[in-house]
């Protein structure tokens, strides 16, 4: 388009140089052509500036695309991080379970060794046989131990001898009677 305008302007300039009727019209036409040529020059400069601006914007947009992640990229990155966390947690869990297993095995070995030592010590120990006399009355009553009862209290309540209660019930440790325990009280009520 610019070349047509320039060609048209050159034709008009040639026509103006020749003397012809209507010089006024020709002078106006020459002025219009000169204005058009100047306007075309201005427009050419403006187009060049717009092309530079467009190139700069394209460069910036390319940089911006590189700087921003898409939603899909973010989701993929999050999924990768989650997989890494699960793998690390699974690995840590396996290591912890292995350590706990080793500790339990060690404790089991120590417990077994202690039980073996206790069993050996018990086996070497002579059996303690409490001498329970059979010289107590074979008749009597049952008594259920109440809260606060001791062997002395029960003997006093029933009128029986403490040693007879111990012998009749074969109590190895008379201080360890329990609430609800049933005892045979020989010859209760006769002192």
| Distance from C-alpha of 38 to C-alpha of 129, rounded to nearest angstrom | 134
Please write the tens of the pLDDT for every residue from 22-47. 788 888 889 999 999 999 999 999 99
pLDDT for res 16: 47
Contact assessment for residue 29 and residue 16, using Cβ atoms and an 8 Å cutoff: yes
User: What does 24-90 look like in DSSP terms, one character per residue?
Assistant: HHHHHHHHHHHHHHHHHHHHHHHHHHHHHHHHHHHHHHHHHHHHS--HHHHHHHHHHHHHHHHHHHH
> pLDDT tens-digit profile of 66-124?
666 788 888 999 999 999 999 988 888 888 899 999 999 999 999 999 999 888 887 77
CATH of domain 140-186: 3.10.350.10
Query: Is pLDDT at 8 greater than 60 in this prediction?
Result: no
Query: Model confidence over 109-124: pLDDT tens digits?
Result: 999 999 998 888 877 7
Q: Where are the domains of the chain?
A: 2-64, 70-125, 140-186
- How does residue 65 score in pLDDT terms, banded at 50, 70 and 90? low
- Contact indicator for 185, 140 with CB cutoff of 8 Å: yes
């Amino acid at each position: 388009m610019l070349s047509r305008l320039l060609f048209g302007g050159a034709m008009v300039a040639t026509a103006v140089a020749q003397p012809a009727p209507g010089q006024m019209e020709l002078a106006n036409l020459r002025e219009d052509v000169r204005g058009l040529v100047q306007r075309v020059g201005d427009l050419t400069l403006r187009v060049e500036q717009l092309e530079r601006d467009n190139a700069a914007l394209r460069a910036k947009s390319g940089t911006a695309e590189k700087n921003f992640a898409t939603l899909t990229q973010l989701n993929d990155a999050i999924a990768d991080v989650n997989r890494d966390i699960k793998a690390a947690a699974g690995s840590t869990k396996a290591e912890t379970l292995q350590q706990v297993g080793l500790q339990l095995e060690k404790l089991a070995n120590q417990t077994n060794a202690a039980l073996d030592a206790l069993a050996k010590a018990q086996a070497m120990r002579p059996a303690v046989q409490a001498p329970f006399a059979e010289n107590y009355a074979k008749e009597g009553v049952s008594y259920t131990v109440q809260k606060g009862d001791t062997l002395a209290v029960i003997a006093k309540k029933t009128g029986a001898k403490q040693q007879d209660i111990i012998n009749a019930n074969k109590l190895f440790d008379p201080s360890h009677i329990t609430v609800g325990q049933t005892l045979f009280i020989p010859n209760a009520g006769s002192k």
